[in-house]
Structure formats: C-alpha cells, structure tokens
Amino acid sequence: MVALVGVGFVALLAYGLIARSTNTTIDDGLAQGKATTAPGFSLALLQPGDPGAVLGPKLKAAVSDGRVSLPELRGTAVVLNFWASWCDPCRTEAPRLERGWRAARARGVAYLGLNMQDLTDDSRAFLREFHIDYLNVRDPGNSIARRYGVTGLPETFFIGTQGQVVGHVIGVVSEQQLSAGVAAARAGRPESVGHGGARRPTR
C-alpha cells in the first residue's frame, strides 16, 4: 500500500513538472534563425479598439462574434503583447505600445494585447488609464502563455503575415526593439530573441 502511494506521489509530481514546464520551441527556432508557426488561439474579446481605415474591415470581421482567433488575422503582421494590470513593468511599457500602434496601423500592422491572470474590471481600468486603443483579448489563466513559452510579463512576439513568429522580446520592449520587430514581421524575417527591461514572473 505504501509503495502504491509512493508511486502515485511520484506520478503526480512528474505530471506537475510537465504541466508547468516552459515550451522553448519558439525561442529555439529563433536562435537558429528560423521562424516558428505561432500557436493558435481563440479568446474572448476584451476591447476591439480603433483599427483605423487600413485594418478596419479585417479586424471588425475578426471581432464580430465577441472572440478573436489568431488564424483570422493571417495575412496581417501582428505585434502580440502579453500583459496584466498587476504587472508594474507593463505600466511602463503601455504608453510605448500605444504610440507604436498609432504609427503602425496605417501600415497594416495589427497590435494585439493578450491580458492574462487578471480580473476583467482591473484589466479594463488599465486600458482606460493608458488610453490603449488597440485590440485586446483575455485569457483568465496562462494556458496560451505556456504554449508561447512565456515565463514573465510583459513579453512581446512579432508574427509575420504567414502566421509565423519572427521575433520575441522578453521584458519591457524598447522603442528600437518595437520598430525592429515590426519591420521583421512585415518582411517575414526571423530575428534573435531580445531581452528588454524589467518584468514580473507569471503567477
């Protein structure tokens, strides 16, 4: 009986380690100069934002059912940012992302915020406080983050028009990193993983 309990405990421990393990597929590919297909998802809409004239028709169609599916954005370069309202570095980064969005949307580049491990009211208050005007979705847990290999917030991924991740910045993204990532996404050109400013561990 004791042996069975011991075996069960070891099995549970192993399962926990596997479930919490970080997926390094994207970063491993970028380290080799290769783009990796972005893990797909379909998440509840947090806010549609103002897509502007160029992206308007596509993004309005994507959010019409109250959810956003990453495959619906295929053909568009995407800046995917993982964030939460409790993340202090995300507050530092927010105005920079909004400025980048206002400059990039006229060139057909979509910004997509992915709020995670957060309360809906807190996340919406954050968006209002920083006047965030781009598309945002919400994952109440961290299942999508785990698929992307996210271990802290904020983290930003740059996805090309063919749906492949071509860049990744860990921590607060700088204006230079943001500009370079957008250029890489538009060109479909893989870049190495970048390390930005501060971040907070995911919960």
Provide the percentage of residues in the chain whose pLDDT is more than 90: 80
Q: What is the pLDDT of residues 97-151, one digit of tens each?
A: 999 999 999 999 999 999 999 999 999 999 999 999 999 999 988 899 999 999 9
Neighbour-count burial for 67-87, b at 16+ CB within 10 Å, e otherwise: ebebebbbebbbbbbbbbbbb
Is 18's pLDDT higher than 50? no
pLDDT, residue 27, reads 95
For the chain, the domains span 23-201
- How, if at all, do strands 155-159 and 77-83 pair? antiparallel
Q: Which of 13-27, 85-99, 101-115, 146-160 has the lowest mean pLDDT?
A: 13-27
The CATH number of the structural domain formed by 23-201 is 3.40.30.10
Is 10's pLDDT higher than 70? no
Provide the percentage of residues in the chain whose pLDDT is more than 70: 90
For residue 107, give Cα distances in angstroms to 7, 96, 102, 103, 104: 57, 17, 10, 8, 5
Q: What is the pLDDT of residues 65-83, one digit of tens each?
A: 999 999 999 999 999 999 9
Tokens 């943001």: give the residue.
178
pLDDT, residue 4, reads 44
Q: What is the pLDDT of residues 28-46, one digit of tens each?
A: 999 999 999 999 999 999 9
Average pLDDT over residues 2-12: 42
Among residues 67, 157, 175, 83, the alpha carbon closest in space to that of 126 is found at 83
